[in-house]
Structures are given as structure tokens and as C-alpha cells.
Amino acid sequence: MNFELTSQQRERQSAFRSFTDKEITPHADRYDREEKTPPEVIRKIAEQGYLGAIIPEVSGGNGWDMITFGLLCEEIGRGSTSLLSLFTVHGMVSQSLLKWGSSAQKEHWLPKLASGEIVGAFGLTEPGIGSDAKSVETTAVVSDRDYILNGQKKWISCGQIADVFMIIAQCEGKPSAFLVERNTPGFSTEPINGMLGFRSAMLAGLHFENCRIPVENLVGRIGFGFSHIAGTALDHGRYCVAWGSVGLAQACLEASLRYSSQRKQFGAYLKEHQLIQQMIAEMITETKAARLLCYHAGYLKDIGDPDLIMETAIAKYFASKTAVKAALDAVQIHGANGCGSEYPVQRYLRDAKIMEIIEGSTQMQQIIIARHGYQTINF
């Protein structure tokens, strides 16, 4: 396996970084304070073709390889992990449709998702259901040529702005997936504010009160919701979060390198103190290690290796932990300045903690990884 990027991947990586440095990083703290991402930012992202990065060209997307998409997620995550959530949930919808949607669903929805004409979001978590996702309580009941949905979802990234939602609900006692458009009668959203992190991810609660959707909006078959569709979506989400965590760790590293080169204590720059050097060395090493795990997961995705799900879980687990450690050290290096709004490291720390929770918590990844280890060893 060769981890050297192709010339095309390097060119795109440079373009992603330039876009982030110009359009995202300078404004991310303000978006965090205002708890919103302006529509024009999403429009600019769509104009770059980034929302259709891994949607096939035949469906209006770019058809980029997974390593290139990972590089995009890293750079977006370096600028704003709140904005990264757009790529996470939008991709969860598009990838689920790509794998499990009907021909008509793909033809109708994928070009719109690829162009950014519409934004997609994924609804799995509920007020009382988190990691035990197969036990969702939202219901879907057949009525003539429709399904009627009742229930709630919570903590839905981009829930305030998304145009179409892929919702996991119990139908005939089996988790199933349905597409719900924002303007559907009986469907409403409620903004969620005051979060620890991801403050500009425009989270929302979703409410379904006799929400009637056509039978054509069932994705896959009854019972596919958790084992097939949510599995596909979560694998994509974990991959996106893993790369975004690398970007966040990189942001912590860059901020720490700058600050420790400018700040003096006891007559010497911080970078000259050995304990600061220790934190910097660990930050560099762990960020590089996390990036290599993401490269490996992306490589396996590109070749269709069956181990890709496990390796993606490992990458998400390690990279999100790395982001938290890097953010903690970045705040420590900045001292009291790291706790104020003048420097972004306090946002990095708040956002990093969210990365350990979304798309499967650290503990869920540990369970998955350990179980896989027991299955592969010969006693």
C-alpha cells in the first residue's frame, strides 16, 4: 500500500486548504458565537462541487476517490468541525441512497444532493435512544398508499436547514428507512442551541405528528433500516469524523506552534521549554498516526476490502481521541488565553469532545473493535 498522494490528490488538497483558509477559518469563531452557518457559505461549498464529492459522475457528482474525500474532510475539519457535520450528514443520505435506493430515488435525489440544490440530513438518534439505535421508537404505519410517521428525533446536525431527511423508524416492528421532505405536513423542526460544541452545526430536534409520506419514500425494504442503511450511513459518518478529527488535531498543532513561537515566559519563548516541546512532539506524532489510520481506511474503501468497516471504526476511535488530547494540550499551552474567545483553541476543545460522541461514541467503538479482535484470534 502506497501512502504517497498522486499529483491530482495533492492539487485538490491544496485547493481544499486554500478554500478553508479563505472562506471558513477566519469566520469560524463568529459562526460559533452566533450558533449558525450563513447560507452563503454552504452555497460556496456547493459551487465548488464539494457536496457531490463522492457521488458518481453519472449522478451529477465528482466521483472522487475516498482518499481525496478524506483530504477534503480533514481541511474542512481544520477550519470548523461544525461545518464538517454538513459533509457528514449530507453524505450519509447520499451514500445510503447510492447503495440502497431504488433507481427512481437515485435518479430524483442524487443529482440534487450532488449540486447542493438540496441539503440532506440523517435522523437516527432520539431523546431516549442513542447508542441502542436499533431500538428507535419513532413509528411508521402503512395507510393506503402512504406511510404515517409519529415520533421524535434529536441532535440532528443541519436539522435546521436540511431539505430532505432520511429517517429510521419502526415499521411492522422492524427498523426501516424513509425519506421525509421538510415541507411535509406533520413534520416540524426545533432548533437546539447552547451546545458544548458544534454550536454552528445548526442542530435540531425533529417532530413527526401523523406525518404522511408516499410509499415510494421507503428506502430499501422493511427491516433494512438498521442492519443495512444505518450501517452504511454510520460507516460513512465515522470515516468523515475520523478525517475531520485529524484536521482538528492539525489545527491545534498549528495554533500551538504559532503561540509557543511568540509567547515568552521566564525570558524564553515557550517553544524553548522542554515540557512544551514534549506536548508538541506528542501532538505531531499522534496526529500523523491518526492520519495514517485514515489513509488506510480510505484505501480499503477504494478497493472494497471487507475489513473497511472495522478499520474505519479504528480510525474514528483513535483520531477522535487524538483530537481531544491535542485540544487539551493546545489550551494548556495557551494558558489563560486558551480559555478566552480571542484564540480558537477553546472552540477546538469544545468541538473535539463532540467528535468522541457522534457517529458512535468512543465506548461503542471500543466494543466493536474488541469484539472483532476476539472473532479473529485462534485459541
Catalytic residues: 359
Which residue is listed with cell 484564540? 343
SS3 105: helix
CB 200 within 8 A of CB 82: yes
Residues 42, 44, 49, 50, CA torsion sign:
negative
Counting Cα atoms < 13 Å in the Cβ hemisphere of 267 gives 0
Rounded Cα–Cα distance for residues 60 and 336 (Å): 49
Strand partners, 187: 208
Q: How far apart are CA 370 and CA 379, in angstroms?
A: 15
User: 56: which residues sit within 8 A by CB, 6+ positions away?
Assistant: 63, 98
Q: How buried is 99 (Cβ within 10 angstroms: 0-12 exposed, 13-18 middle, 19+ buried)?
A: middle
